[in-house]
Amino acid sequence: MTEYPSRIECGDFLLEKIPATCENATQLFHVVDKNRDYLGAYLPWVPRIGQAEDEIEPLRMVERRDVPAYIIMQDGHLIGSIDAHAESVRDASIELGYWLDREYTGRGIMTRAARVLMGMLFERGMNRVVIMAAVDNTSSIGVATRLGFVREGVMRAALQIRNGEFRDLAVFSKLKSEWEKD
C-alpha cells in the first residue's frame, strides 16, 4: 500500500489530511457554501452539499483509505481541496481534481499544490496525470497550461451540472517522461 503524507508544507500554504469531525465538516461546508455559485458552475457535486453533515462521509472515505486527498490551508483557514481521483485509476493513469475559494485565486496556490501532488503521484508509479475542465473554466485550464499539460481534446457534453445543463470538458494530460524533463 502506498502511503501519502498527512501534512505537506508548501511555503505560504499547506496540504493536509484532516480527520472526519463535525468541526472539519462544518469548516469545509462554509467554504463551499460561500463559493456555491462560483464552484457550482463547474463542479457537479456542489448542489449535493446542502449542509455541513453532507461533508462528513467524503471526509470518512478519505480517512479509511490512503489516498492523495488534501485540503488546502493558509494562515489557519481552509481555502480549497485537491485530490487524485482513485476511481479513475486505469493503467497507471489518474485524474487530478481541485477547487479553491474564489478569494484566493490568482495567487498560484493551485498550480503549486498540483505540482506537489503530481510529483508524489509520479514517484509512486503513475505514468499519466489527467486534468479535465469545462472548456470555459479558465482558472483550471490555466493550472494545466502552467504545468505543461498537453491538451488532448474535448469531450462533448460530458459534464452535467446544475439544472441538467451539460458542459464540454477539455482533457489535458502530463506524462511521467515529460515531468522528468521539466
Q: What is the set of domains in the chain, with CATH numbers? A: 7-181 (3.40.630.30)
Reported for 1-5, long-range contacts at CB under 8 A and 24+ positions apart, including other chains, are 1/66, 2/66, 2/124, 2/125, 3/66, 4/66, 4/67, 4/68, 4/120
- Give the pLDDT of the chain (182 residues) as one tens digit per residue: 458 899 999 999 999 998 888 998 999 999 999 999 999 999 988 988 999 998 988 888 877 777 789 999 999 999 999 999 755 556 778 999 999 999 999 999 999 999 999 999 999 888 999 999 999 999 999 999 999 999 999 999 998 987 788 999 999 999 999 999 88
The half-sphere exposure of 147 on its side-chain side, counting CA atoms within 13 A, is: 30
d(CA 120, CA 98): 16
d(CA 146, CA 8): 21
